[in-house]
Structure 1
Amino acid sequence: MSTTATIKALRPDDFRGRENDGDNPMTAPGQEGGPSDVNATGADERAARWQKENAEAIACYNDYIEKNGLPLDEFRMF
Structure 2
Amino acid sequence: MAKEFHDGRTAEVGDGRRLLFILNITYPVLEHFLGEVFFFLFFFLECVRVGSEHLHHIYPYELFTYSFRLLWFSVSFFFF
TM-score range, shorter chain: 0.3 to 0.5
When you count helix as a share of all residues, which structure comes out higher? 2
Using CA pairs under 8 Å that are at least 6 residues apart, name the structure with larger relative contact order, 1 or 2: 1
> Which structure's residues are more often strand, by fraction?
2
Structure with higher Rg: it is: 2
Q: If the length of structure 1 is used for normalisation, what is the TM-score?
A: 0.37
